Chain A
Amino acid sequence: MVGALAAGVPLFGPGIEAAELTALFPLLTFIIIVFFGSYLPLKGAIPGIAATGGALLVSLWGVADIATGAGPRHETLLTFVEGVAGEGVTLTFGILIDPLAILMLTIVSLISFLVHIFSLGYMNDEGEIDLPRYYAGLSLFTFSMMAFVFSDNLLMSFVFFELVGLCSFILIGFWFREAGPPSAAKKAFLVTRFGDYFFLIGVVAVLGTFGTAQFAGSESFVTIATEALETGATEGMTTFLGFGEQAWITVIGLLVLGGVLGKSAQFPFHTWLPDAMEGPTPVSALIHAATMVAAGVYLVARMYGFYVLSPTALSIIALVGGFTAFFAATMALVKQELKQVLAYSTISQYGYMMLALGGGGYVAAVFHLTTHAIFKALLFLGAGSVIIAMHHKENMWEMGGLRSEMRVTYLTFLAGSLALAGIFPFAGFWSKDEVLYETLVHGLGGSPVLLVAYTFGALAVVLTGFYTFRMVFLTFHGEPRSELAEDPEPVRWNVKFPLAVLGVLSVVAGFLNMGVLKDIIGEENLFLHEFLDGVTMDADLDAAGLSAHHYAEVLESNFAAGYEVAGLSPLGPGALATVLAVVPVIGAWYLFRGPDVDPVMTKLGGLRTLLMNNYYQDEYQVWLATGVTLPIAKVANKFDQGIIDGLVDGTGGVSLFAGERFRRIQSGVVTNYAALLTLGFLLLVLIFALVGGWI
């Protein structure tokens, strides 16, 4: 195997040829569990583990294939709606496997596999009921997410984008007998649906404008749009409402962005994610940290060739991303529940990915997506382990001193935290640094708005280090602050194994792309960059318009975003980022280390109240729903009942009155209505006959 890798021969090729199995395995599992789940041993966990394990093998095989020369693969799997020839678009489902897709498939299947195993400990061992519904939800989610990842067109992306939203709804609301989870599930679906509303307009607009929603190839909407701007050949493109080509591309880009902001929990659509923590913790790890929330960012990366055409859209993405990274991090500072800190941290980290995409750092964004999936899944699973130990108590002030009783959890959680805080040489350091570096060099190259976004991102680094280690110290260090923390419940192998795997990865994943050292180790040793650039492939990924290199080229073209790169060694910004990350960690250690911890954050006073209440963002959105929309609905209802229906009854009153009299004469039994009816009917026929000149 190693020999084949070295020789550059595709191992088998079929790895990517069979990539749809990554979705079909979980789909099959879903169907099995829906119908037979309650009869299965472990209530459906076994088929789930088998399916995701199988998907992981296929994905890894695909990675090996692409690393040794095969790919890309792009074909239509089935025709959804056949358009009439020449008019009306044809809607299809297809598969597009390129380095980006296969990487994402690997991430999803890996995390899903580990989460299934973890669930044995978190759900089965804890004696939860209704487990078939849980495992069915996980399988349906994995299926939808996989299909979303390998979608070859925007409509198909939308289809599965919505389906992962459904799975999120089902799984957040898993404990439906309580009041909180169903409400959180509703909010999650509704807020993301609001974003998806814009996304769907975007999909429809793409189909209307280009007649195709394909991502890749010479017939794709991305290529048509690029050519329209580059050569002025606008035959393939119909703009609407009098917009010019570039402006219309911006409009479409921003519409699709609505769905992205909703799903990836970016400001102002971030409010659903903290509530989503009502769901079981493995679900939070899989869906609300590593994969589904990544769907938005992935979508922008998937159609990055389109976004680089619009400087406006990119600037907005960068600003929203940078701001969200900072804004969410401030709220994480004061949270008292373990999962809440992680939730705001997740929002913040996705902000970094958006910042990278807006800042022209395609590889940086994908890199951070990868490392974040690993270390955030790890942190959530670690939190899950702590929650098992604490008998489902989540408040960190009731914890403390857990490190001595929970070695594996502590060490892996620490590795994840170091990665999150961006401490050298853990995974998050490399990727976050690259995000900031890319934004900085493009900003210095003549895009001042990126510098604003960069500043937000850099400030967020400080906050991240602080809240992360506040969490670590409060949970694991010092003395136990409750009886539960003194005697935590032990966890089994099924919890420790996923933690160990992810813990190791959190340490080493950063070596994929050591961008800070690129001047020292050479660009060819930035493995992820080379992989995403299609260097390992025999086919030309540029031709399909999917390579990192191609994106950078368009990004710097004057007809497109027109970014320029300032010459700046990555070492300086890297050193700065390290300082920014290390100082707050030390600060957190100073404040939260001892056996008796002061709740120092209360000294923030009114600011703390504001942060605890999330800047009253939730109140404002609830007000939009119940303070604006609902009253309008009530007024509409009053108007409808009183005025419209009143008029009908008023005019109808005459006939009703006639009916009364008729009934009085005829003693009002049902048969008389029949007589009335028949009479009326005959009358109509008579009119008919008269008009027809029959009589």
Chain B
Amino acid sequence: MLIELLVAVTLASALVVFMAPDRIAPKLATALSLLPLGIVAVMWTQFDAAGNALRAGGEPAFASTIEWFALGQYTIQWQVGVDGVSFPLLALTVVLTTLAMVSSWTPIDERQSQFFGLMLVMETALIGVFTALDFFLWFVFWEGVLIPMYFLISVWGGPRRKYAGTKFLLYTNLASLVMFVGLFVLVLGLGGSLTEISLPAITQALEAGELGSFAGIEADTLRVVAFLLLFLGFAVKVPVVPFHTWLPDAHVQAPTPVSVMLAGVLLKMGTYALLRFNFTMLPDVAADFAEILAAVGLISVLYGAMLAMAQSDLKRIVAYSSISSMGYVIIGLVAFTPHGMGGATFQMVSHGLISGLMFMTVGVLYNTTHTRMVGDMGGLADRMPITAWIFVAGAFGYMGLPLMSGFVAEVLVFIGAFESTVIAGAPLFTAGAMFGIVLVAGYLLWAMQRTLFGPFELETDYEVGRAPLHDIAPLAVLLGLVILLGVQPDLIYEVIQDAVAPIVDSAGESLIVSTDSLSEIGGELL
């Protein structure tokens, strides 16, 4: 019942904060957000899931099922539980929410009770997304995330907040619709074999080959259509190039803590859903399209990095580099190897922490300097040494410096993708994607050199001095977590591997090794 408690406590906290006066709301909300954090900590100690929650034989932890209502032949259930894929993301959500709230103390100076209330509402919905196992329930939470996010951007955002908020909302809502249709293609194709539309039920029915034809369309076509629709729907969220243009706008306009949540957790909803739906339910289709998907990932990595290089707004740089980092997740997933899929999931958590750290640090600099443009400032390390060195550490984390979590994630993805038997020419795809580690170093080092080092320069009427402790503290915590996971990845990687192994295995059974075609090319090279 811990998940129910978690959802209830967070939602109740939101209501309390909405009613609290603006003056005390920030600290009250932060204090209340320690409750879900504590509950998840307790869950951590009792976590006993085995396998993948969606697959036969999978035993999610803290699972509970309550029949809700009937919808024609289908029973709609309150069905929740977490496994090795969702639990690390759940933990990421509660940690980042609390830290993002602390980092809101300085920049959010109006309508605090609404802001912090909405943050808690969003946390509730995010908890739901990562714990729900019934499709209907999951979809309610999935859509539920958008509403507070929309308000957080368009009320507390920058000058073009209305445009960015609306774009975010329309784009992702449209994507939800596409995805929704995709899933229903599957549900209809499964026809009478399905009595509930829970994710495990759908997955296992598909695995058992129950998918029939619908409206005269063959099952094989249905699979592909469903896969495509689902992929398009989630690709917007991830975001995958070319569906990424809402992201920089949203980030630039959103206030810092909202960017933290957006990059840290909301993007992971997309990759999480890709893993849960596309890769767990339809691994055979994913494997058939392996080269195309890997190419999509590769383009996201390189194109995202090139875009980041062309920016001069620090926030845009980090925003575009998120696109690049999410490309690794796609490549890792499509590899269908233990380290590929495991590394991709690890990257979701790791990138959540590191991008959160980077956005927060940029926010702290902005609080003081009131600019984010690279050309406007220089030599900040002189005035704000602690913030600057945390920025440096975070940037190196982003570049995949060893003993920080980003390296583990990337190297696992690379190892997994290199030996993938699903992607023809996997080593070439991998080597191509790895070039991202050079590009990311290029633009982050350049940005650091310009803003942090050199003689101090800044035209401002404000006093530029050290940031207050409550601005620095969340940065330090995040940096600590990034290093902790970088040194001891097995803290979460063990459960991740346990949960992705069934998917890897299922793909392994039905897939044909398709490296022969590339063999000839390789032979001619030497």
Partner of B307, one of A205, A243, A251, A636: A636
Q: How far is the CA of A649 from the CA of B427 in the complex (A)?
A: 38
Judge whether A193 is part of the interface by a CB distance below 8 angstroms: yes
In contact, A177 and B522 (Cβ under 8 angstroms): no
Residues on B with C-beta less than 8 A from A200 are 411, 414, 434, 437
Q: A176-B381, A640-B307 are in contact. Are A183 and B449 (CB under 8 A)?
A: yes
Judge whether B306 is part of the interface by a CB distance below 8 angstroms: yes
Q: Which residue of chain A lies nearest to B342 when distances are taken between CB atoms in the complex?
A: A88
Interface residues in A172-187 (C-beta closer than 8 Å to B): 173, 176-179, 181-183, 185-186
Q: A81-B490, A159-B402 are in contact. Are A691 and B184 (CB under 8 A)?
A: yes
Partner of A81, one of B136, B187, B197, B493: B493
Judge whether B408 is part of the interface by a CB distance below 8 angstroms: yes
In contact, B501 and A84 (Cβ under 8 angstroms): yes
A206 to chain B, nearest CB (A): 10
Judge whether A77 is part of the interface by a CB distance below 8 angstroms: no
Q: A182-B454, A190-B445, A677-B169 are in contact. Are A240 and B497 (CB under 8 A)?
A: no
Interface residues in B396-425 (C-beta closer than 8 Å to A): 396, 399, 401-403, 407-408, 411-412, 414-416, 418-419, 425
Q: How far is the CA of A176 from the CA of B418 in the complex (A)?
A: 39
Residues on B with C-beta less than 8 A from A155 are 411
Task: Give the segment of B147-155, B203-211, B216-224, B259-267 that binds chain A.
Answer: B147-155
Q: How far is the CA of A244 from the CA of B524 in the complex (A)?
A: 11
In contact, A648 and B245 (Cβ under 8 angstroms): yes
Residues on B with C-beta less than 8 A from A87 are 337-338, 501, 504
Q: How far is the CA of A176 from the CA of B381 in the complex (A)?
A: 8
Q: A177-B456, A652-B167 are in contact. Are A190 and B441 (CB under 8 A)?
A: yes
Judge whether A158 is part of the interface by a CB distance below 8 angstroms: yes
Judge whether B173 is part of the interface by a CB distance below 8 angstroms: yes
Residues on A with C-beta less than 8 A from B449 are 182-183, 185-186
In contact, B154 and A673 (Cβ under 8 angstroms): yes
Residues on A with C-beta less than 8 A from B271 are none
In contact, B489 and A242 (Cβ under 8 angstroms): no
Q: A89-B339, A208-B415, A670-B151 are in contact. Are A194 and B454 (CB under 8 A)?
A: no
Judge whether B68 is part of the interface by a CB distance below 8 angstroms: no
In contact, A680 and B173 (Cβ under 8 angstroms): yes
In contact, B437 and A84 (Cβ under 8 angstroms): no
Judge whether A124 is part of the interface by a CB distance below 8 angstroms: no
B292 to chain A, nearest CB (A): 19
Q: Which residue of chain A lies nearest to B197 when distances are taken between CB atoms in the complex?
A: A692
Judge whether A681 is part of the interface by a CB distance below 8 angstroms: yes
Interface residues in B115-136 (C-beta closer than 8 Å to A): 136
Judge whether A674 is part of the interface by a CB distance below 8 angstroms: yes
Residues on A with C-beta less than 8 A from B306 are 632-633, 636-637
Task: Give the segment of B16-24, B49-57, B70-78, B354-362 that binds chain A.
Answer: B70-78
B44 to chain A, nearest CB (A): 19
Judge whether A600 is part of the interface by a CB distance below 8 angstroms: no
Residues on A with C-beta less than 8 A from B147 are 674, 677, 681
Residues on A with C-beta less than 8 A from B352 are none
In contact, A88 and B338 (Cβ under 8 angstroms): yes
The contact string, 1 if C-beta is below 8 Å from chain A, for chain B 65-92, is: 0000001111000000000000000000
Judge whether B176 is part of the interface by a CB distance below 8 angstroms: yes
Q: How far is the CA of A244 from the CA of B338 in the complex (A)?
A: 26
Judge whether A645 is part of the interface by a CB distance below 8 angstroms: yes
In contact, A193 and B437 (Cβ under 8 angstroms): yes
Partner of A655, one of B170, B339, B408: B170
Interface residues in A576-621 (C-beta closer than 8 Å to B): none
Interface residues in A82-109 (C-beta closer than 8 Å to B): 82-84, 87-89
Residues on B with C-beta less than 8 A from A181 are 453
The contact string, 1 if C-beta is below 8 Å from chain A, for chain B 499-526, is: 0010010000000000100111111011
Partner of A692, one of B71, B456, B523: B71
Residues on B with C-beta less than 8 A from A159 are 402-403, 407
Q: How far is the CA of A203 from the CA of B434 in the complex (A)?
A: 12
Residues on B with C-beta less than 8 A from A567 are none
Judge whether A12 is part of the interface by a CB distance below 8 angstroms: no
The contact string, 1 if C-beta is below 8 Å from chain B, for chain A 659-695, is: 1000000000010011001001100100111011110
Residues on B with C-beta less than 8 A from A194 are 438
Q: Which residue of chain A lies nearest to B440 when distances are taken between CB atoms in the complex?
A: A193
In contact, B180 and A687 (Cβ under 8 angstroms): yes
Judge whether A247 is part of the interface by a CB distance below 8 angstroms: yes
Q: Which residue of chain A lies nearest to B399 when distances are taken between CB atoms in the complex?
A: A193
Q: How far is the CA of A601 from the CA of B309 in the complex (A)?
A: 42
Partner of B408, one of A81, A177, A203, A684: A81
In contact, A204 and B143 (Cβ under 8 angstroms): no
Task: Give the segment of A111-119, A160-168, A217-225, A465-473 that binds chain B.
Answer: A160-168
Q: How far is the CA of A183 from the CA of B378 in the complex (A)?
A: 13
Q: Chain A: interface secondary structure?
A: helix
Q: A208-B418, A630-B309 are in contact. Are A693 and B73 (CB under 8 A)?
A: yes
Q: Chain B: interface secondary structure?
A: helix
Q: How far is the CA of A204 from the CA of B176 in the complex (A)?
A: 37
Residues on A with C-beta less than 8 A from B246 are 648
In contact, B307 and A637 (Cβ under 8 angstroms): yes
In contact, B170 and A182 (Cβ under 8 angstroms): no
Partner of A163, one of B136, B310, B402: B402
Judge whether B188 is part of the interface by a CB distance below 8 angstroms: yes
In contact, B154 and A670 (Cβ under 8 angstroms): yes
Q: Which residue of chain B lies nearest to A681 when distances are taken between CB atoms in the complex?
A: B143
Residues on B with C-beta less than 8 A from A158 are 402
In contact, A177 and B455 (Cβ under 8 angstroms): yes
Residue from A173, A201, A640 whose CB has the most chain B CB atoms within 10 Å: A640
Residues on B with C-beta less than 8 A from A203 are 411
Partner of B427, one of A240, A680, A691, A693: A240
In contact, A176 and B414 (Cβ under 8 angstroms): no
In contact, A689 and B522 (Cβ under 8 angstroms): no
In contact, A243 and B497 (Cβ under 8 angstroms): no
Q: Which residue of chain A lies nearest to B303 when distances are taken between CB atoms in the complex?
A: A636
Partner of B402, one of A162, A183, A201, A629: A162
Residues on B with C-beta less than 8 A from A456 are none
Residues on A with C-beta less than 8 A from B154 are 670, 673
Q: Which residue of chain A lies nearest to B441 when distances are taken between CB atoms in the complex?
A: A193
In contact, B497 and A84 (Cβ under 8 angstroms): yes
In contact, B427 and A241 (Cβ under 8 angstroms): yes
Judge whether A80 is part of the interface by a CB distance below 8 angstroms: yes
Residues on B with C-beta less than 8 A from A250 are 526
In contact, B171 and A652 (Cβ under 8 angstroms): yes
Partner of B434, one of A176, A197, A632: A197
In contact, A197 and B402 (Cβ under 8 angstroms): no
The contact string, 1 if C-beta is below 8 Å from chain B, for chain A 640-652, is: 1000110011001
Q: How far is the CA of A692 from the CA of B70 in the complex (A)?
A: 10
Q: A176-B381, A201-B434, A208-B418 are in contact. Are A190 and B442 (CB under 8 A)?
A: yes
Judge whether A566 is part of the interface by a CB distance below 8 angstroms: no
Q: How far is the CA of A323 from the CA of B408 in the complex (A)?
A: 37
Judge whether A656 is part of the interface by a CB distance below 8 angstroms: yes
Q: A81-B412, A162-B401, A178-B455 are in contact. Are A88 and B497 (CB under 8 A)?
A: yes
In contact, B453 and A173 (Cβ under 8 angstroms): yes
Residues on A with C-beta less than 8 A from B493 are 81-82
Query: Told that A81-B489, A88-B342, A242-B522 touch, could you supply 10 new A-B pairs with CB distance under 8 A?
Result: A176-B379, A176-B453, A190-B441, A241-B521, A242-B521, A636-B310, A648-B171, A677-B150, A687-B180, A692-B187
CB-based closest 3 A-B pairs: A241-B522, A242-B519, A182-B453
6 CB < 8 A contacts A-B: A87-B501, A203-B411, A204-B414, A242-B519, A670-B154, A677-B150
**Which positions in A face B, CB cutoff 8 Å?**
79-84, 87-89, 155, 158-160, 162-163, 166, 173, 176-179, 181-183, 185-186, 189-190, 193-194, 197, 200-201, 203-205, 207-208, 238, 240-244, 247, 250-251, 625, 629-630, 632-634, 636-637, 640, 644-645, 648-649, 652, 655-656, 659, 670, 673-674, 677, 680-681, 684, 687-689, 691-694
